[in-house]
């Protein structure tokens, strides 16, 4: 059910479909089930409410609180969820030092795991040519499917 709520909110925001009673219902149902949301569902829901200007404080506060509890167990592929949460919660004024620390710690842990050798021969995973660096540009809109 949490993913369906998040998908509905995200789809409406993506289509710019604004329907107050629907978003009130999504907010109420989401708050009741907030402990069942994964990081991506939290991020999608927060982004949808933020993007359409439904800065529903009780829901965003619940999302921020739940994010603190699950961000430490960041799984591979969840980086976009963290970035989506950062964007949505900061946009709506629900960003704080605790969330900043949790997000930074979670992303640094993931980065450290990505930096470890995979145990593959060098010919399979060649090193980047000397003198070249890879830039990562994170833009709030359009990135990570948001």
pLDDT computed for residue 91 by the predictor: 82
Domain that holds residue 48: 2-110+140-145
**What span, in angstroms and rounded, lies between the C-alpha atoms of 42 and 130?**
40
pLDDT computed for residue 5 by the predictor: 96
**What span, in angstroms and rounded, lies between the C-alpha atoms of 48 and 84?**
10
Answer whether residue 40 is part of any domain: yes
- % of the chain surpassing 70 pLDDT: 72
How does residue 74 score in pLDDT terms, banded at 50, 70 and 90? low
Answer whether residue 84 is part of any domain: yes
Answer whether residue 64 is part of any domain: yes
Answer whether residue 102 is part of any domain: yes
For the residues 41-49, what does the mean pLDDT come to?
Answer: 91
Answer whether residue 86 is part of any domain: yes
Answer whether residue 117 is part of any domain: no
pTM for the whole thing?
A: 0.70
Domains held by the chain: number:
1
For the residues 100-110, what does the mean pLDDT come to?
Answer: 82
pLDDT computed for residue 100 by the predictor: 84
**What span, in angstroms and rounded, lies between the C-alpha atoms of 29 and 47?**
17
For the residues 33-48, what does the mean pLDDT come to?
Answer: 92
- % of the chain surpassing 90 pLDDT: 31
The answer, yes or no, to whether residue 8 has pLDDT greater than 90, is yes
Answer whether residue 116 is part of any domain: no
pLDDT computed for residue 22 by the predictor: 95
């Amino acid at each position: 059910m949490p993913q369906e709520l998040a998908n509905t909110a995200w789809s409406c925001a993506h289509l710019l479909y604004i329907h107050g009673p629907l978003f009130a219902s999504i907010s109420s149902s989401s708050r009741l089930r907030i402990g069942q949301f994964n990081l991506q569902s939290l991020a999608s829901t927060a982004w949808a409410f933020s993007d359409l200007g439904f800065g529903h404080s009780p829901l965003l506060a619940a999302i921020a609180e739940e994010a603190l509890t699950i961000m430490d167990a960041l799984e591979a592929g969840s980086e976009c969820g963290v970035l989506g949460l950062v964007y949505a919660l900061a946009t709506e004024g629900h960003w704080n030092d605790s969330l900043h620390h949790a997000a930074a710690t979670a992303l640094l842990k993931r980065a450290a795991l990505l930096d470890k050798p995979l145990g593959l021969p060098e010919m399979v995973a060649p090193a980047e040519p000397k003198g070249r660096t890879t830039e990562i540009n994170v833009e709030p809109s359009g990135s990570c499917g948001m």
